[in-house]
Structure 1
Amino acid sequence: MPAESLVRLMAITMELEESVSDSKLHKDSLAKKELRPSKSSSTEQLRQFKSWVSSERWNDLKKIAEIAMKERKVFMIKGGGFPAVRRALLERGWVEKYESHKVRHPPPNIDPKKCTGKELSKVERMILYKFMEHHSVDFLWTTKRDKYDWLLSNKEVILSRSKSVIMSFYRFCRSIFTTKEGLTSSLTQMHWHTEPGVSITKFPRCYNIHNSDSLEEFIDDFRITACISVLKWLSNTLQVSNEQNLVVSHGKVPFSSIEFALSRLNEYILFFTHKDIDDMEDQVHVWEHEWDQFLTYHYLLVHEKAKQLERKAAKLLATMTKYWPQISIDGVLNIWIVKPGNKCRGRGIQLMNNIKDIIGLINTMVSNNKLPTTDHLDIQ
């Protein structure tokens, strides 16, 4: 079959499939009664809502809706919930179009002039909905694909699912960010989509270390982080202790490790300020064994003492278990519930973790003929 005929046949087949699919979706939507309301009824309802807000606020809401529709920043969240998604979109200038069943007429027994708080917020929500009623949402967040109102959408709507798979139709086919690997790759490319004051994404440093290039970046990151950690440890330790307690004759870590960290961070700063170009000949090559030795010193400084204490504590707690039956439910805050013995329904109950305060409260209660009781309430 000629190539031209094959392409034409494929196009006809795709059109037929799309027609059948659209027909089925149309029938499903009719069955669910989710068709657009008439424009005449919407206009009449808008007139009713206009009496609920001032003319200035009415114009502001109308302008907000018009800008959102023009810039294609109208979103809908089906099923409720997802406050983080809603908050992120609102912070970026998007406007929410609520589902039709969530938009009700204002209660008839409330004076529009005295409408405040939640009632006023609901009214403004209704007004915005009516302004955007015939505009298809530009971003739809839904938990179930079959609940999506296809007739009120267009082919540029982004459809996302909060379950195991995130799907984006017509814009991101088979999106890579549905896996941890793909999400990491997407995040590392976010700098191409950053716009100051509009779109800035902050996230923890992450790497796909199965990739050789990413593995090298991770190793560099780990080493620089270790240098920073050593200097932070030194600074924090000197703030609470003097140098005589820090430097001992039988110490395991030499001063050269501190100097090594200082040198590497200085080199890092010179690299990012482009001042290393003039000193190419004076640059010192750092060998792998030097990094290995430094990381060992870093571990000894930051972790070794804590590890020794941890081992001693674990051994003692294992022994204490034989003599302290409730050790498994004891946490670290040692909080006690102090309550009067002659009261009920939660009256007079206090949570305390200071023994002097507890004793003082006991003396006060006894003098007032209120016998106290205590229950242990610790938080793991």
Structure 2
Amino acid sequence: MVQQFQSQVEIKTLQTTSPSSRYSVHLPALNPERLKTAKAIVDKTVKLHKVFSVQGPYPAIRASLRARGWVEKRMCRSGHPVYKRHVKEACCNDAGDIKVEYDDKNHDQDPNGLYELMSRLLRNEMVYFYWTNRRDAINTNILQKEQMINHFAKAGSFTTKVGLCMNLRSLHWFDSADPDTFFPRCYRLGARDEKHAFIEDYRRTACTSFLKYIVEKAQNVEEEGKNEHIQEACEPVIVSKLISRALKVCQDFLESLEHADIDASLETTSSLVKEEWGEFIDNYYLFVHDRAQMEISNSLVTCCKAMLQRLAEVSPQLETDGIHNIWIIKPGAKSRGRGIKCAKRLDQILRLVDRDPALIKESKWVVQKYLERPFLVEGTKFDVRQWFLVTDWNPLTVWFYKKCYLRFSTQPYSLDILDNSVHLCNNSIQKHLRPSHQRHPVIPEDNMWSDDQFMTFLSSRGQKEQWENVVVPGMKKAVIHALQTAQDLVDSRKNTFELYGADFMLGPDLHPWLIEINASPTMAPSTPVTARLCAAVQEDMLRVVLDRKADRSADTGDFELIYQQATVDVPQYVGVKLFIEGLRLKDTCLLPPLRPLNRSASKYRGTKKEMAQEKVKPLPKVVKSAISPIKNISEKVPTQPSRHVPIETFTLHLPKTGHRSIHLPLDPHSHSVLLWRRGL
């Protein structure tokens, strides 16, 4: 009866909150049997170390864990400052009675309040599995070894646009692959040297784009003059001059790759001067962007074709570059397509970046070459969201998910319109837009396809084998290379894992191009495709990190282990006890005090008898010679001191880590002691 009364009092206390208390837990009235059941479940859970906490609306994670016998200890609201204190105290197993308002009240159906009651009973227990939607939600330094968490610390080195841009440049230290074969070239406009490199790249790309434009115009002579924006025809002399300059720039670029320009002077290495570049870029805009009419000789077209063939051998991105020289400008640390813009004029790009001095100062702006010729589905652009899982960084262990989905834009693809509705496929942007009536009816209104639907489309075009032979292997290699470059930067912690979402675009030959890697990819069931696939990837992820941990032969679902480094043998630390043994001088004179350089040395403060016995002798000349051997000094200095100096042995003990010792005898008869005692 007493226990029953105490339980009822406890429940009523939990229900009672002061009007000013904003963060509280509300539990319905429970009968003693339900409370007894909850306590029994909690006791069993604590013994089995099956207590978890989830931050955010992840019903699939909660359902999968509960099916495995886990019980949730609810997290408080992540936006409130109490949150970190609550989590820290919970990790230290001393949570106390903090009144908090829990996250996501509507994500669960808990009519009996059993989950809330068990969570309250677990308030002072350790959490063994954390799932959060923010990397900084929990301080991993205070976690114990057996606690699991779904985020690695310091993983922003490849999940931000700036980090990915910088890290892939060091890929040659980890692998022989070339990042230009799977990652569009990228620059930080906030860094002065990279801004200069981007301007050079833009100019050189304008030259190659102009050559491609000439070749395409020659191949479509019958279509010339039909465009509404055609201006007056330019003189053939001007066109030939522009082609010659473009050919010279491309030739100089090829020679620089072969290091043929090492012995050239500064005047000969610069292809065009500033005024010539300004004139060339203006004429490039006139012909390519404004579509001015031109007359071209067959000999010039032949030269352009020959140069493009040579460039194709050394420029993997030549085919996807197109002719409009479009670049995409991204704020370095934002997600969901925020702040991203496309531009094709150099002055527009530089002016757009210069608007925000803060981002320039922190080198946050990233400009990346836009893939102007992607693979399209019935004239509509799309990208691929591909999941992968990292369960360890040392050794690096990567799991690739066999399923993925496509995200379409709402407008037909066009390079004449640089609007985000055409060129950005983020669902966070496209879901607010109305699909165009000009879009092909095969594209669904929710703008998403599963990989199975895409393979059906490829089969209708006779390209089904390219999915398994080109797309999937290319995505795997790109993911592995991106992780290799960040391996030394991420804080590797055992019992930690993280699920990432990589975004790819496909080239005209279905070759995949890595655009970015996202931490905490969305798991919201926004469409029927994501509702099915997001739930499946979360369930399979728990199979890898939990079931396989207990049983190596456990089923991992659609996750495939694609990379695991060989374990590095670390020499075993045997534990060496280090200490120093030496001799201590009992009766010694004090060192002379520090003095300015312009003052004489202090006199020896001893008795007259000692001063007479230890009269300072002049230094021998041999000491002043830098090339004389040290043994000559001993011939000039007496081998015995003028008086007996008693000595005492002492031992300096360092931390006890072994049984080895270092003996450093300090002989008062040594030359160093003699010179010091004589005031030298």
TM bin (shorter chain):
0.3 to 0.5
Structure of higher RCO (CA pairs closer than 8 Å, 6+ residues apart): 2
Structure (1 or 2) with the greater helix fraction: 1
Q: Which has the higher strand share?
A: 2
TM-score (norm 2): 0.22
With normalisation by structure 1, the TM-score equals: 0.36
- Which of these two proteins has the greater Rg computed from alpha carbons? 2
